């Protein structure tokens, strides 16, 4: 019989926090181009984490995020200077949570909760504090401890080591299909928050559960699924 997980570990960017909430500021800085900037910025941000992991050339997520922003502006031929960079990087510390996040977390009482993120420690601390989630999620873990990005198994092992919970007793929650696949391959029970209704990537592993939003998570977890 399946029991509910002893701990739930959440991805941060795209799962709890809406990375595209910066699009409004992007549109203020470059009218009519905000959505395109935000999309390309995020795509390159992820691409650079994978490339740096493969090359063995780790830089923390703040550097990766700024480099991706510079690329997006260059590719779209948009004017970019230190003032714009500073405003947008500050905005990344104030990303909006998805509407259902606080309610869902409040319904997960009795389960150890943690964040496991690509984010640099200082970025994550500010982000969680600014969103008012410090009391809701006591453990915030960063890949900076192992100097490699998801989906490296070394990252997921951080949750096991720091929480002191067996692999099979940890549920991992992410809106990123590739992240859910990495966590499933590592051995976690996985909950993919598939807000976009995307197909499962054919990577040889599939998430245990696919949900449309975090609002569905508490009931699913409580049932032991």
**Which single residue is written with the structure tokens 């009218």?**
31
- Measure the N-to-C terminal CA separation of the chain; round to a whole number of Å: 10
> Shortest CA distance to 113 belongs to which of 104, 100, 122?
104
Please tell me the CATH superfamily of domain 7-17+95-222, with its number: HAD superfamily/HAD-like (3.40.50.1000)
**Can the peptide bond before residue 105 be classed as cis, meaning omega within 30 degrees of 0?**
no
For range 209-220, the mean pLDDT: 97
- The reported pLDDT for the residue numbered 206 is 96
Indicate whether 110 pLDDT > 60: yes
Helix, strand, coil percentages, rounded to 5, for the chain: 50, 15, 40
- The reported pLDDT for the residue numbered 109 is 86
Per-residue pLDDT tens over the stretch 117-142? 999 999 999 999 999 999 999 999 99
Fold category of 19-91 in CATH: DNA polymerase; domain 1 (1.10.150)
Q: How many CB atoms lie within 10 A of CB 116?
A: 28
Report domain extents, the chain: 7-17+95-222, 19-91
Half-sphere exposure of residue 55, counting CA atoms within 13 Å on the CB side?
9
Per-residue pLDDT tens over the stretch 47-85? 999 999 999 999 999 999 999 999 999 999 999 999 999
> Shortest CA distance to 54 belongs to which of 62, 63, 65, 46?
46
Indicate whether 18 pLDDT > 70: yes
**Does the pTM exceed 0.75?**
yes
- The reported pLDDT for the residue numbered 223 is 87
For range 1-6, the mean pLDDT: 81
Catalytic pick from 11, 18, 144, 208?
11
Clarify whether 11 is annotated catalytic.
yes
CA angle 21, 27, 29 (to 5 degrees): 115
Indicate whether 215 pLDDT > 70: yes
- The reported pLDDT for the residue numbered 115 is 98
């Amino acid at each position: 019989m399946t029991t509910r997980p002893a701990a739930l570990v959440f991805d941060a960017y795209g799962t709890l926090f809406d990375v595209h909430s910066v699009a409004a500021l992007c549109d203020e800085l470059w009218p009519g181009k905000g959505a395109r900037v935000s999309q390309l910025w995020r795509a390159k941000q992820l691409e650079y984490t994978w490339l740096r992991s493969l090359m063995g050339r780790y830089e923390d997520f703040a550097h990766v995020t700024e480099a991706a922003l510079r690329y997006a502006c260059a590719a779209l031929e948009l004017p970019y200077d230190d003032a714009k960079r500073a405003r947008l990087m500050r905005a990344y510390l104030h990303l909006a949570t998805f509407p259902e996040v606080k309610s869902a977390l409040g319904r997960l009482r009795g389960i150890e909760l943690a964040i496991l993120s690509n984010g640099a420690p200082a970025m994550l601390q500010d982000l969680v504090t600014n969103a008012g989630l410090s009391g809701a999620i006591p453990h915030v873990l960063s890949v900076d401890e192992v100097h490699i990005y998801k989906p490296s198994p070394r990252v997921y092992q951080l949750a096991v080591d720091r929480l002191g919970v067996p692999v099979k007793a940890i549920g991992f929650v992410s809106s990123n299909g590739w992240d859910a696949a990495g966590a499933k391959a590592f051995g976690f029970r996985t909950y993919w928050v598939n807000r976009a209704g995307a197909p499962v990537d054919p990577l040889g592993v599939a998430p245990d559960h696919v949900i449309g939003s975090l609002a569905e998570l508490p009931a699913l977890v409580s049932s032991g699924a």
